[in-house]
Amino acid sequence: MRHLLLTGLLLCAAASAPAATATLPPGAVLVDVVRAPEADVHAAALDATLAAGGDAAEVVQTLQTIADPLRREATAARLLDRLQRRGAAVPGPLLDALGAWPVSVWRRHEETAADWFLPVFDLPGRVQSVRLLQAREREVDALLAVLARKRADEASRSLAQAAPQVAALAVAAASPAVFDMLRAHAKSQAVAWPSPVLAAFARRAADADTFMHALDVGDPIDVLPLFAQTLPALPRADARTVLREALARPAYASVAAFALVRWSDPGDVADPLLRGMLATRDGGAAVAAALAQVPDALARIDALLASASDAATLGHLALALRLHGGPEAEVRLHALRGDARLSAAVRAELQR
């Protein structure tokens, strides 16, 4: 799991951009569509050789004997993919060799009519990403070794001082005993952990207190994913406590409104939290957008319309119908056009 997290992080943030060129090097191959099915078979065989303890230098030599540049680079790229998918360490000699290969297979940039070419497989860039991944794994392992000593103060300081993403990955991978130690320490005193660490801690703890702490001091870019990843795991009462707090904060109000609609009881049309949001300008629009997307949208909107009284709530329910669309929603919108409870502005909009 830690390897998958690291791989995803580096694919998004650390992979080098392929080097484009307006002039193809000597011997280059220009392709429109990559078709090299034999590369998968060959890469699987080389992967099996390495898994059985085979010599990386021999694998490199085998790759170098492939005369066709397309097949050679495709096989090398797919070998790297296979090694990373199974969490295997990519041997240094293999990385050294592939990183030094000249790029031979190119494609024309599809968004320009001029001669502008991009590498198809970008082996040097892939090698750089693997090296960064391996370096990050070593950092995480070193931090996990510190945490494993189970000295709470030292562990907390180390999390605060490490690179934020390294510390977050260490929190996710720590043993249950170490995590429980960190949890007790965080409850007993203030901790100065960076935002990604707080989010990782809240994701793993899956309780209202750690979620609320992340809301209080975390960065929205780290905390927002928790609404989809962690909120559903909380007990209903705890989830509603978190939502009530989040709805009052501009950075989280929209995502909290979506969560409130998606995870509220469809039959509870008297839900004061939901009704309170429908009556506010920004919150009501967010709830309307969420209502329009749930499977039982029309039934829920009907139930809310039946007991609505204020103009703001009715206007937002009309917005939900408009966003939902379709013949049945149009029938309901037509019926609302003459409703005296609606504001004049909304009635005028419905008449258009």
Residue with structure tokens 């995803």? Answer: 8
In which region does residue 21 sit, left (phi positive, over 0), alpha (psi from -120 to 50) or beta (all else)? beta
> Residue 344: pLDDT band by 50, 70, 90 thresholds?
confident
Query: The pTM is what?
Result: 0.72
- The better pLDDT of the pair 3, 277 is held by 277
Phi and psi angles of residue 106, each rounded to the nearest 5 degrees, phi first: -130, 160
**What residue type is 334 in one-letter code?**
H
What was the pLDDT predicted at 270?
A: 60
- pLDDT above 50: residue 135: yes
> How sure is the predictor about 114, in pLDDT bands with cuts at 50, 70 and 90?
low
Q: Which two tokens stand for residue 311?
A: 């103009």
Amino acid occupying residue 347: R
- In 111-151, alpha helices (H): 123-147
Cα separations (Å) of 142 from 120, 145, 158, 170, 333? 36, 5, 10, 9, 62
CA angle 281, 226, 15 (to 5 degrees): 115
